[in-house]
Amino acid sequence: MAFSVPPGDIQTQPNAKIVFNSPYDKNTYHIKINNSSARRIGWAIKTTNPARLRVDPPYGVLDPKEAVLMAVSCNAFDFASEDTNNDRITVQWTNTPEGATKQFCYEWFQSDGIVRRKNLPVEYNP
């Protein structure tokens, strides 16, 4: 039943983008995800460049009105020689099945349930 209902909204802080300042290996950026819906959700983070961007924790489960703080860090790289135009972090979330425990399960994202996404572009200041 929960899979047939679209997942509610989440809020992220920051809301629009993530900015790393040079030198990139010295930065840790924090993203807060808040489940503002009335249902438990499972969430997962994907990046367009996993070799450059690390997220901890990369997935989890949030009860209604619960929030989590993630650390996003950047590996050192040569800004002048690498393409960074399409770097982004994508937050995906879906309702958890009725009666599911609060343990994350990747299968929730591969079933027939509705998965929502929010993209946060990554900018780099040289």
- One DSSP character per residue, 50-118 reads TTTEEEES-EEEE-TT-EEEEEEEE----GGGS--TT-EEEEEEEEPPTT--SS--GGGGTSSS--EEE
What is the reported pTM? Answer: 0.91
pLDDT tens digits, one per residue of 70-84: 999 998 888 889 999
pLDDT tens digits, one per residue of 18-65: 999 888 877 789 999 999 999 999 999 999 999 999 999 999 999 999
Residue 106 CA, distance from chain mean position: 14
